[in-house]
Every structure is written in C-alpha cells, then in structure tokens.
C-alpha cells in the first residue's frame, strides 16, 4: 500500500468504528478517529455526507494519497446509494477508481488508480455503471429526485409556488423535472449550464400554459411582479421591485425571466427549503402527493416541515421515509 484507506460513509456516526493504529500496514485509516478529527477526515465528510459527490472528492483521494476506498453499502440509505453509484460510475469510466471486489456481501473495495496503479479487478461490478440521462433515471427510480440534481428539483418546486401560488402535484412535477433532465448525464461533472438552460426553457413553456395565462394574462407588468412576489412571500425594497418591473416594461426581460429571478432569489430559496425537501421525500419514497391516501390530508406533511424547522437536518426525515411500511410496499410493487 502506498497510501491510506478511506471507509465510506464517513461522519460522526461512523468514524468511531474506524480506528486503526498507524502501525497496521504502516498506514492510518484516514477517516478513523479516536478523540479528534484530522483535516482530511473533515474534508472527506464534507464532500460525501449529503447531496451529489463532486469530482473534487477524487482530487482529494489522489492528493492525500489514498490507496483504497471501502464503501460499506449496507450503511447507505437508498438516497445516498443513488448519489454514490452516480459518482462511482463516473470515477470508473474516467479510470480514476478501479473496482476490486465485494467482501462479506456488502463492503465494496475500490483502488485509487493514481496511487495504486497495479491493483486488479477480481469480480464484476455489483451495480450498473452506465451513465444515465437524469430524465430516464427519474423514470426508473424516483429516488433520483433527491440525488445529483436536487437543486434544480427544488427550483421546479419554487416555480410552481411563485407562478401558480401552490405546490406541484406528483405527476406534473415529475414531468417537469424530466424535462429539465433531458440531455443531462447523472454523475457527470459540469452539467450546471445545461440544467440552467433547460430550466429556463421550462419557465418559457410555463408562461404558455393555460393555468399561467388565465392567472396572469390580464395583469400589467407591475401587477404581475406583485403577484409573483406575494406568492413567494418576498418583500423587495422599492428599488429592487421597480427595477424588475422596468425590465419587463422596456423588454430587457421576459415574464419567464422575471419568474426565474424570483425563483432564484436566495430569500425564497431559504424560505421554501424545508417544504421542498419534505415534498420531494413524499414524491421520491412514496410516489404520491402528501394528501393522497392513506393520509387524506396535509397533517403528515406539515409535521415533517415543523420537525425540520425546529431541529434541522434531514437524516431523521430520510430514515423515517426509507423505513416506512408504505415505502417498502412501494418497492415491493415495483419489483413485481
């Protein structure tokens, strides 16, 4: 071994199990901790704990250097497994990681090729490594709504809130997210420009929909802006509001462009973060709207929003949905 070992997932709830004396193989376990955390352990956690795993994580592994990465698949939630497999598919395709073998039926060993170029694959990869278009991936597995491009899924949610004054329903939301995911490869780096372009195209299409036309056609530009801001719960100062109205009046901005400015406002993003997160869990894990049976009302949705507002962090939310009887029934039906 020319470097250390990274065991994933990493974090406070995992690292205490990963204590390895430096004398063992003359190399420390990078994420092992026995009272304090190294800077490398902090970086590993920050890059892999939530959301998509970026290409910078590969750079870190090569710089440490790490020789091997162990992924304890049995410790991954369904949502995190999606993110891991997307990242690993790219790393394998680029030749920067090499799958070695699966041990104990659950721990996958990968070699960091730059550090350990002589490492050999001993078994077939235990998951499909073909890069998939995000739109197709959502059709195959709605949990992908919570994976690589969650930021844009949240943006679609806010588009509904700002333009229509309501949350999206599952079927229409899934169709719109598929639209912005066309041509976007899961796990591939630098897809932001394409996603942004697709989101703008969706906003333009939205302004031609009957619901939007019926709601906003008769409104002048000032009233249109006022409605968007009211729906979004935003209070712009007089100068900001006047500038947005003027951009519409002089033709430098379209109604779709003004809508996207509201959708992207950081105050709106923060205000709706928890509601979007809970709604996406209903969509991804249960594949239904929050008020569909067996709920029949929005009390369950509001309960989880209050939980996030009070305590923050989505670990409890994700665990509850992933472990729910309804989710297990959904998975069982999908496999039949």
Q: pLDDT tens, 74-105?
A: 999 877 887 888 889 889 988 999 999 999 88
Q: What is the mean pLDDT of residues 268-279?
A: 95
Q: What is the mean pLDDT of residues 301-325?
A: 89
What pLDDT is recorded for position 24?
Answer: 47
Q: How confident is the model at residue 311 (pLDDT cuts 50, 70, 90)?
A: confident
Place of tokens 């591939």: 188
- For 98-107, 148-157, 182-191, 318-327, which range has the lowest pLDDT when averaged over its residues? 182-191
Q: What percent of the chain is predicted at pLDDT more than 70? A: 90
Angstrom distance (rounded) from CA 170 to CA 148: 19
Taking the whole predicted model, whether its pTM rises above 0.75 is answered as no
Q: What is the mean pLDDT of residues 40-62?
A: 89
Structure tokens at 189: 């780096």
42-49, Cβ contacts within 8 angstroms, sequence gap of 24 or more: 44/6, 44/8, 44/10, 45/10, 45/11, 48/8, 48/9, 48/10, 49/9, 49/10, 49/11
Q: What is the mean pLDDT of residues 141-152?
A: 78
Answer whether 79's CB lies under 8 Å from 52's CB. no
What pLDDT is recorded for position 291?
Answer: 97
Answer whether 312's CB lies under 8 Å from 304's CB. no
What pLDDT is recorded for position 21?
Answer: 43
Angstrom distance (rounded) from CA 202 to CA 182: 11
Answer whether 32's CB lies under 8 Å from 103's CB. no
Q: What is the mean pLDDT of residues 161-175?
A: 95
Q: What is the mean pLDDT of residues 264-290?
A: 95
Mean per-residue pLDDT over the chain, rounded: 88
Q: pLDDT tens, 193-249?
A: 888 899 999 999 999 999 999 999 999 999 999 999 999 999 999 999 999 999 999
β-strand partners of 70: 7, 109
Q: How confident is the model at residue 184 (pLDDT cuts 50, 70, 90)?
A: confident
The helix/strand/coil state of 108 is strand
What pLDDT is recorded for position 188?
Answer: 62
């Amino acid at each position: 071994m020319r470097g250390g070992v990274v065991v994933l997932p990493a974090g406070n709830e995992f690292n205490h199990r990963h204590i390895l004396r430096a004398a063992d193989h003359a190399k420390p376990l990078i994420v092992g901790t026995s009272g304090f955390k190294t800077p490398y352990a902090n970086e590993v956690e920050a890059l892999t704990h939530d959301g998509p795993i970026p290409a910078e994580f590969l750079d870190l592994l090569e710089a440490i250097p790490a020789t091997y990465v162990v992924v304890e698949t049995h410790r991954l939630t369904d949502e995190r497994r999606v993110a891991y497999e997307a990242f690993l598919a790219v790393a394998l395709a680029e030749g920067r990681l090499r799958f070695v073998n699966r041990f104990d039926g659950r721990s996958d060993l990968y070699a960091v090729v730059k550090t350990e170029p002589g490492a050999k694959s001993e078994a077939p990869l235990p998951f499909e490594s073909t890069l998939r278009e995000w739109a197709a991936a959502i059709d195959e597995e709605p949990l992908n709504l919570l994976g690589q491009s969650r930021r844009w899924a949240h943006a679609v949610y806010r588009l509904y809130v700002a333009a229509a004054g309501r949350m999206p329903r599952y079927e229409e939301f899934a169709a719109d997210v598929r639209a912005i995911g066309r041509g976007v490869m899961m796990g591939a780096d630098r897809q932001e420009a394409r996603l942004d372009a697709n989101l703008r195209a969706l906003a333009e299409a939205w302004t031609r929909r009957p619901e939007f036309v019926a709601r906003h056609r008769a409104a002048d530009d000032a009233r249109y802006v006022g409605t968007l801001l009211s729906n979004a719960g935003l209070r712009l100062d007089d100068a900001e509001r006047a500038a947005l109205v003027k951009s519409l009046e002089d033709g430098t901005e379209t109604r779709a462009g003004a809508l996207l400015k509201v959708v992207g406002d950081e105050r709106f993003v923060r205000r709706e973060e928890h509601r979007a997160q809970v709604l996406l869990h209903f969509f991804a894990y249960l594949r239904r709207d929050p008020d569909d049976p067996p709920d029949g009302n929005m009390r369950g949705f509001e309960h989880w929003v209050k939980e996030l507002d009070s305590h923050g962090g989505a670990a409890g939310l994700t665990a509850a949905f992933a472990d729910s009887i309804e989710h297990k029934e959904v998975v069982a039906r999908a496999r039949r």
